[in-house]
Structure 1
Amino acid sequence: MKAGQVSGQELVQRHDHIGWGLPYIVFLYIWGTQWVLSSCIGFFGQWQDVGLWQQLTTWIACAASLAALAGSFRTGRWQRLADQGGKAALPLLMIVGAVSVLQYVQAVDPFFAPLLRSYVLAVAYALFAMWLGKPLIYMSLWLFLLTTVVAVWYLGFASLLLGGFGGLSMIALAWMIRRWNSKSDDQGGVAK
């Protein structure tokens, strides 16, 4: 077997790892879109107060996430969501909650939150790369380096750049998972 070839069993195992991500695609689209919209709205914050509009995008994303969860209850996919993501859900919710509380009590300055969210997303991509492969390692490194460059040289644009590119990276990840799964379905359950 050549170096670039993969055995049939490894391909089936990869399909299993890709398949587990399918129920989460909708959340990647929802929150990726929220990050992009919030960062675009935040750009106009230099001329007028847009805090209410940014909060509105968050509330809409929360409502859409709850609707997606309710839909998964009705279709019976909730069990699959809970089984596969339950172990990662608590730490993720704790991080989101901690950042939200720190922002609410104004313990962090406005530039810190986008940097922290972007670094957390980069680390999450590195963790997910264990299941989804090298493309996520590349996305993780790219987002980590982008965050570092923005923090050092372009801090004033942190919210716009990191929110926009972070959101687009979530949308790209959802697209990649869907594409990988459709390829594996086309080949009778085996991914390329």
Structure 2
Amino acid sequence: MREAHGLIPLLFIWGAEWVFSAAVDFALYWRDLDWLKQAAFVTAVVASLIQIWGMRKNTGQANEDTERTGWGRPIFVVLPGAMLVAAVALLEAIGAVNQLFAPILRAFLLAIGFVQVGLLLGRSLIYLGLWLFALTVIMGVGYLGYSDVILEGMGGISLLVSGYMLRVWAR
């Protein structure tokens, strides 16, 4: 659990960004606030880079176990997430994923990420991933028009909850 301690601020940063983005998506029905979503995304990226830089400075000499697993190097902690963001951005840019299915794809990727990290850190994260996966299936089948607000909001809350769980486990 100690190895994942560096993930906690990143989970809170991106969880807050997802929840804020869902709130903006809800407000988009009345006003054009798309620029606010972009500003929140850029702010989350900058805050993440600052956090990674701080983790890099504080890491110092890592022991052999953290060196072998990759947890000792902050870039390896966020590399899979950055790859997922890049993959989704590419799919959206080339038109492979339209506006209705992009939130579903992002939520599926987040759910799979929770299950993957849960295999390393604990069963609770696996259950969180399975819950988000089931919610995404339900939203995709029955409520596609509301998926951007619901899945971004629930994905953000899931990130915040997982950050809280890791913080409690680290004590």
Q: Same fold (TM over 0.5)?
A: yes
Distance 1:174 1:104 in 2: 30
Cα contact 1:72–1:78 (8 A) shared by 2 = no
Structure 1 residue 60 corresponds to structure 2 residue 47: no
Distance 2:50 2:78 in 1: 18
Structure 1 residue 134 corresponds to structure 2 residue 131: no
Distance 1:71 1:101, change over 3 A: same
Structure 1 residue 160 corresponds to structure 2 residue 149: yes
Which has the higher mean CA deviation after the structures are superposed, 93-102 or 29-38?
93-102
Which has the higher mean CA deviation after the structures are superposed, 59-68 or 125-134?
125-134
Residue in 2 aligned with 1:83? 70
Number of residues of Structure 1 aligned to a counterpart in Structure 2? 165
Q: Secondary structure at the match of 2:170?
A: helix
Task: Give the CA deviation at 1:105.
Answer: 4.4
TM-score of the superposition, structure 2-length normalised? 0.86
Distance 1:147 1:180, change over 3 A: same
Q: What residue identity is the alignment partner of 1:167?
A: G
Unaligned runs of 5+ in 1: 1-17, 183-192
TM-score of the superposition, structure 1-length normalised? 0.77
Q: What residue identity is the alignment partner of 1:83?
A: G
Distance 1:68 1:77, change over 3 A: farther
Unaligned runs of 5+ in 2: none
Which has the higher mean CA deviation after the structures are superposed, 20-29 or 89-98?
89-98
Task: Give the CA deviation at 1:154.
Answer: 1.1
Cα contact 2:24–2:37 (8 A) shared by 1 = yes
Distance 2:153 2:60 in 1: 30
Distance 2:140 2:60 in 1: 40
Residue in 2 aligned with 1:187? none
Cα contact 2:15–2:157 (8 A) shared by 1 = yes
Residue in 2 aligned with 1:22? 5
Identity of aligned residues (%): 34
